[in-house]
Amino acid sequence: MIKRAKGVTISQVAEAAGVARSSVSRAFTRPDMLSPETVTRIMKAAEALGYVPNHTARALSTGRHGNVGLIVPDIANPFFPPMIQAAQIEADRSDFCIFLGNTEENPKQEDKLVSRFAGQVEGLVLASSRLSDERIRAHAGQLPLVLINRDLDGIPRVLIDSGSGVREAVEHLARLGHGKIVYVSGPSTSWSNKQRRSAVRAAASSLEVQVETVPAVLPSYNSGRNAVGAILATGATAAIAFDDLTAQGVLAGLAEKHVSVPGDFSLIGCDDVLGAMTYPALTSVSNRSMEAGRVAVSLLLDMLQSRAIRDVRYVLETHLVVRNTTAAPR
């Protein structure tokens, strides 16, 4: 049986140091209000007793518990881990802890998590929320909220603009000499998909390159792989896929059909979640999920500090990252 340390309290430290409890409290929160000698004396006593401030008691007294929540739809989607990591680091810088919630793409679960988190966090970041506008606004009435990839007036939000990067992708292909390309689309209900598809079309038409759309339905490896037949049937010489996972599937499908990349066919992904981890290394549109996480938390902490809600709309531009899956057509 392992012995568990009991909690030594502020009172014991006070007694040991021969001061009042409030002085001990001050020594830890506002040392500048005390004379340096007493601070050191208190600290020494605290150290000797192994005193550790009780987070919960402090939270009850101050109403601030130094936690923020982060809720994502699917932690297993490689888009999110970098975001979570960045959020964590940013929170850490201000001595905040992150509560992580995973909704599994389920609005009900998301609603439940928000309620459960409220009361133990000072604020919340909702990433790619699947909730209705109404629910989000309702929650925003309960506690400070920051949105990622959701554009609601009056609620601070950080948006990743994949349009800019997709435009660069089309320009890149046009410059290489591709006259006909295909866009391998993602989920029809996805805001990102709409944004990307229309960006492809707009850029293509102004550059006089033809575009066809091939649906992949789900953003996944298998969808991409299954789409290869349809892609090649269009006679296009290049493709831009909804995301990297889809692109990776397309890449594998092309390899199976002995279509060499980038020799016979050029391919571009989106979100750049694979890094250079495919072979050949995938040209992709950068993803800013890391910055999004960092900025969202930073924004939230600002809100908490200033006790005010500013109507921030922080847009992160994306860019094309050229690697080895794009070249001039034969």
Of the ranges 18-26, 178-186, 249-257, 284-292, which one interacts with DNA (CB under 7 A)?
A: 18-26
Q: Which residues contact 189 (CB under 8 A, 6 or more apart)?
A: none
Binding site for a copy of itself (CB under 8 A): 1-5, 52-57, 59-60, 65, 67, 75-76, 78, 81-82, 84-85, 88, 97-102, 104, 116-120, 140-143, 154, 221, 248-249, 251-252, 255-256, 275-279, 281, 308-309
Which window, 24-32, 222-230, 261-269, 320-328, contacts DNA (CB under 7 A)? 24-32
Give min distance, CB of 120 to DNA, in A: 13
Which H or E run includes 268?
A: strand 266-270
What residues numbered 60-89 form the site for DNA, per CB under 7 A?
Answer: 60-62
Q: Is 181 exposed, middle or buried (0-12, 13-18, 19+ CB in 10 A)?
A: buried
143 binds, among DNA, a copy of itself, none (CB under 5 to 8 A by kind): a copy of itself
* Least distance in angstroms from the C-beta of 60 to DNA: 4
Cα angle 301-311-150, degrees, rounded to a multiple of 5: 85
Nearer to a copy of itself among residue 120 and residue 206 (C-beta): 120
The distance between the two most distant Cα atoms of the chain, rounded to a whole number of Å, is 86
Binding residue count for DNA, defined by CB under 7 A: 29
Query: What φ, ψ does residue 16 adopt, rounded to 5°?
Result: -60, -35
- Contact positions with DNA (CB under 7 A) in 26-45: 26, 28-30, 33-35, 37-39
- Could you tell me how far CA 18 lies from the centroid of its own chain? 49
Q: Which residues of 80-118 are buried (b: 16+ CB within 10 A; e: fewer)?
A: bbbbbebbbebbeeeebebbebbbeeeeebbbebbeebe
* Residue 38 site contact among a copy of itself, DNA, none (CB < 5 to 8 Å, cut-off depends on kind): DNA
**Which of 112, 109, 116, 120 has its CA nearest to residue 68?**
120
Q: How far is the C-alpha of 272 from the C-alpha of 284, rounded, in Å?
A: 5
Given the complex with a copy of itself, which of 1 and 35 has the nearer CB atom? 1
CA distances from 175 to 4, 75, 203, 263 (A): 68, 37, 12, 16
88 binds, among DNA, a copy of itself, none (CB under 5 to 8 A by kind): a copy of itself
Task: State the nearest-atom distance from the C-beta of 35 to a copy of itself, in Å.
Answer: 28
Residues that bind DNA (CB under 7 A): 7, 9-11, 18-23, 25-26, 28-30, 33-35, 37-39, 51, 53-54, 57-58, 60-62
